[in-house]
Amino acid sequence: MKGLESLFKLIDELRKLPGVGRKTAERLAFYLLKSQRGEVEALARAIIELKDKVRLCSTCSSITETDPCNICSDKNREKNTLCVVEEPHDVFAIERTKEYKGCYHVLMGVLSPLDGVGPSDLKIEELLKRVRDNGVKEVIMATNPNLEGEATAMYLQKQIDAATVSAEEKILITRLAHGLPVGADIEYADEVTLSRALEGRRKY
Ligand SMILES: [Zn+2]
């Protein structure tokens, strides 16, 4: 519509957000239009600040404002247990269970040959280096229980085995127990299911 370019520009931007269709984008845009200037500014600032401040932890690749992240720098966390997840939001899902006391390693994706995602696109070298150099005793595979997640966990298990053949002590590699709905995302699992999956993890 001519003469309302700024409104339609905002609607277009909002529609790019996940789960936001045209109707929702319009509703949000009209809501913002009616809001106080201060409120709108606070929202805009929060978005910019998020992009300026949040980055990846250089150790585990989870998201953080300080490097290393709070988990990696916490002396009370077990440094010899690593939980391997696909994305930073999976760390938050597992942290919500309050069950896990080890550290994490975020792969930043999952192996997916069809989408052209290979081992070098993920934080796999970094994981192998951590496992080799830091006296890691257990690696918990917490990739999603779907085809790609399973294949990635299996690939990692072989890589870790190969990278640590000379290690004095064999590294224990475990997979989250089932009970997690197959095909579901760790991110959306409820705390109870996720706690049980952690407790009941089994050896490869
Ligand atoms: Zn970290």
Distance 143 CA to ligand 1 centre (A): 17
pLDDT band at 157 (very low <50, low <70, confident <90, very high): very high
Euclidean distance between CA atoms 194 and 199, whole angstroms: 9
- The pLDDT of residue 15 is 97
Distance 16 CA to ligand 1 centre (A): 30
- The pLDDT of residue 185 is 77
pLDDT band at 137 (very low <50, low <70, confident <90, very high): very high
Task: State percent of the chain over pLDDT 90.
Answer: 72
Asked which of 27-36, 153-162, 192-201 is least confident by mean pLDDT, the reply is: 192-201
Write the pLDDT tens digit of every residue in 2-21.
Answer: 789 999 999 999 999 999 99
Distance 4 CA to ligand 1 centre (A): 45
Distance 11 CA to ligand 1 centre (A): 36
Mean pLDDT across 87-107: 94
Write the pLDDT tens digit of every residue in 167-190.
Answer: 777 889 998 876 666 666 777 777
Distance 189 CA to ligand 1 centre (A): 22
Distance 17 CA to ligand 1 centre (A): 27
Write the pLDDT tens digit of every residue in 36-87.
Answer: 999 999 999 999 999 999 999 999 999 999 999 999 999 999 999 999 999 9
Distance 69 CA to ligand 1 centre (A): 4
Whether the per-residue pLDDT at 204 is higher than 80: the answer is no
More confident residue, 41 or 201: 41
Distance 173 CA to ligand 1 centre (A): 20
- The pLDDT of residue 2 is 77
Task: State percent of the chain over pLDDT 70.
Answer: 96
